[in-house]
Amino acid sequence: MTRKARLIYNPVSGHEQMLQNVADILNVLEQAGFEASAFRTTPEPLSAQNEAKRCALAGFDLLVGAGGDGTINEVVNGVASLEKRPKLAVIPAGTTNDFARALKIPRDNLVDAAKVILTGKTQKMDIGRAGKQYFMNIAASGSLTELTYGVPSEVKSVLGYSAYLLKGAEMLPKISSNKMRLTYDDGVYEGDLSMFLLGMTNSIGGFERIMPDAQLSDGLFQLIVVKTANPVDVLRLMAMALNGNHVNDPQIIYTKTKNLKVELLGESKDKDPIPVNLDGEIGGHLPIDFENLKQHIEFYIG
41-57 confidence digits (pLDDT tens): 999 999 999 999 999 99
Question: By percentage, how much of the chain surpasses pLDDT 70?
Answer: 84
Asked if the structure places residue 28 within a domain, the reply is yes
Higher pLDDT, 193 or 151: 193
Is 39 in contact with 5 (CB distance < 8 Å)?
no
| CATH number where 225 lies | 2.60.200.40
Residues 283 and 181 in one domain: yes
Out of 144-158, 187-201, 209-223, 242-256, least confident range? 144-158
Does residue 302 lie in a domain region? no
Domain boundary among 120, 145, 169: 120
* Burial degree of 138 (CB within 10 A; 0-12, 13-18, 19+): buried
Q: How many domains does the chain have?
A: 2
With respect to residue 128, please indicate whether it lies within any of the assigned structural domains: no
Q: 179 and 105, same structural domain?
A: no
Q: Is residue 249 part of a domain?
A: yes
Residue range of the domain that includes 269: 134-294
The residues that are catalytic are: 281
Q: Does residue 144 sit within a domain?
A: yes
Residue ending a domain, among 120, 154, 173, is: 120
Q: Around 282, how many Cα atoms within 13 Å sit in the side-chain half-sphere?
A: 13
**129 located within any domain:** no
User: How far from the centroid of its chain's Cα atoms is residue 245's Cα?
Assistant: 23
Last residue of a domain, one of 120, 142, 168: 120
pLDDT tens for residues 126-167? Answer: 999 999 999 999 899 987 776 555 555 555 556 555 665 666
Examine the pLDDT at 210 and tell me if it is beyond 80.
no
CATH number, domain containing residue 26:
3.40.50.10330
69-102 per-position pLDDT tens digit? 889 999 999 999 999 999 999 999 987 788 998 8
